[in-house]
Amino acid sequence: MCPLVDSYGRKINYLRLSVTDRCNFRCMYCMPADGVPKVDHLEILSYEELLLLARSVVPLGIEKIRVTGGEPLVRNGIVRFLSDLSKIPGLRQLVLTTNGALLEEMALQLREAGVQRLNISLDSLRPETFASITRCGQLEKVLAGIRKAEEVGFPIKINVVAMRGVNDEEIVDFAEWTLVKPYAVRFIEYMPTRGEEIWQSRIISGEDILARIQDRYALQPVVRGEMAGPSRDYKIPGAAGTVGVITPVSGHFCVECNRIRVTSRGMAKNCLFAESEIDLKPLLREGNVEKLQHALRKIVFEKPGKHIISQTDPSHKPFDMSKVGG
């Protein structure tokens, strides 16, 4: 079967699959303070429909699936679903993005279910700042979850959304964490997804992030591995872990983009910032794999060459990340 290739010749082998738009945090860059409106149960893809989607797309060349949300661990039955997902022939990587709040209780179950790696969103190591960003989270709960995940054998990636005037004073603190812990800490540029008036004042570029670390430590480039993401990774000499920057605003990596997204409501998107999307729900509920695969090929072929977000112009319709999938 022919692999998924877009009109620019990019091979698409990575699906970001959201299972819920619900979350136990209310992060300031992700959703409104009072959360997202409740939607009818029938609007959200069932686990059976999500599995049908995965089983239909893996034969097209999808080798990596990242399960996202919202917070995927708040959805009932998630462990069984992940176990079923991990057994799909041809799927090489199953990764989960989480805020870590439920990891202390669930890390071992996730490991036994076949999840291979965790990406943990953590934007501050200071309790007050963490509470301000998440609007309700408890830092120690997340740190305990990270420790448990490490204990049961998970490789750990930490995603830090760097925001000027909010948590940028902690950039070196996070980098120093890698001196003693084998974590991959990646700093992500703040993206103007929600269209806030003050978004430009919050952006701190990847180059600025690296410069702040290099004021204190030397950095050695790290060779990217197979199926690596867009992070440019470095290592402080002698450190146990690595630091990296992801630059969707100041330095587009669209030329290497290998992913598509499907939201928890079944909307397929070929770019985070694309306004066009295809509703897969009718095809999934019809159970027509051929039509489903045709729709996926169409969304891939129409994938834009690059997004148009810059440090001066968001140029997109605002949206909440929790509805798309982080």
pLDDT at 33: 77
Model pLDDT, residue 318:
52
Q: List pLDDT tens digits, range 161-187.
A: 999 999 999 999 999 999 999 999 999
Give the pLDDT of residue 128.
97
pLDDT of residue 29: 87
Decide: pTM greater than 0.75.
yes
pLDDT at position 300: 95
DSSP 50-116: HHHHHHHHGGGT--EEEEESS-GGGSTTHHHHHHHHHTSTT--EEEEEE-STTHHHHHHHHHHHT--
- All residue ranges of the chain with pLDDT < 50 are 316, 319
List beta partners, residue 260. 15
Burial class (CB in 10 A: 0-12, 13-18, 19+), 221: exposed
pLDDT for res 254: 85
List of domains in the chain: 14-324 (3.20.20.70)
Strands (DSSP E) along the chain, which ranges?
Answer: 14-18, 64-68, 93-98, 117-121, 156-162, 184-189, 220-221, 232-235, 242-246, 259-262, 267-269, 278-279
